[in-house]
Amino acid sequence: MRKIQILVGFIVLLSVLFVFFEMKDLHLSAAMVKAFVVPVITGVYFFTISKRSAYFSAFLILFSVSELLTFIGPYLPVNCEYFIGNSLYLTAYSCFVLDLLNKLNFRYVVKELRVTLMILLALNAYLLYVLYTIVSLDLNTISVYFEFLYNAVVLSVLTVSFLNYLYRDNKKALLLFVGATCLVFSELLQFAFFYIAEVSLLNILTYGFFVLAFVFMYASVSIGATKHLVAQNA
């Protein structure tokens, strides 16, 4: 319990610093503060969760490494941080999706959730089209294709987590879905910040959803870990 309290206190401290730097338009300093969030949660995850998923662990590690690139980004060649960092994010999201796909019953999804799946795929296709039309105005061809792939994987995180919730219908799956939703909202807001308007409020909202995403995800995996530990001690 004390570890969780320390984690919450540290995140609150980081949040105050982030908002302060954003209000002063010190975006690089704010990004460096944000870069500590996932590595800290990842450390707590490995320190407190005994029964860990390999794919989810890989998701956290890859995400953490990409976040920490913020500190060396200014010293890297042009576009190097963009492609390396986003490739790590892309691989991390893929691990998250694979983690859920391994636990889904595809026969059940196709049979019982066919209409829902079709609606989600149609919604994803529309969102990808909208995002594509925006980035195609500002980026070169390679970057546009890369952004398209990246956005497709990000949206699949939301789709698969929602299907996982419908399939399992329990608190653990609900928390994971809420976390995934917050993470996707964070990505969309960050997209708006980079390609539509560099407004500090957008960056603050991005950070808020970002923190909530990993807090909910940690809460989700903690449920299974708590039950496992209780069973061991019984």
pLDDT tens for residues 37-90? 999 999 999 988 888 999 999 999 999 999 999 999 888 887 888 899 999 999
pLDDT tens, position by position, 105-125? 888 888 888 899 999 999 999
Phi, psi of 202 (to 5 degrees): -60, -40
Which token pair is 35? 């870069």
Which token pair is 9? 């206190």
Which token pair is 15? 């949040």
> What is the structure's pLDDT at 225?
55
Residue with tokens 């980079």: 194
Query: How far is 62 from 54, CA to CA, in rounded Å?
Result: 12
Query: How far is 30 from 35, CA to CA, in rounded Å?
Result: 9
pLDDT tens, position by position, 120-147? 999 999 999 999 888 877 667 788 889 9
Give the global pTM. 0.90
Number of domains forming the structure of the chain: 1
> What is the structure's pLDDT at 50?
85
Query: How far is 105 from 7, CA to CA, in rounded Å?
Result: 35
Residue 154 belongs to domain spanning: 2-233
> What is the structure's pLDDT at 61?
97
- Residue 203: how many CB atoms within 10 A of its CB? 23
pLDDT tens, position by position, 165-191? 999 889 999 999 999 999 999 999 999
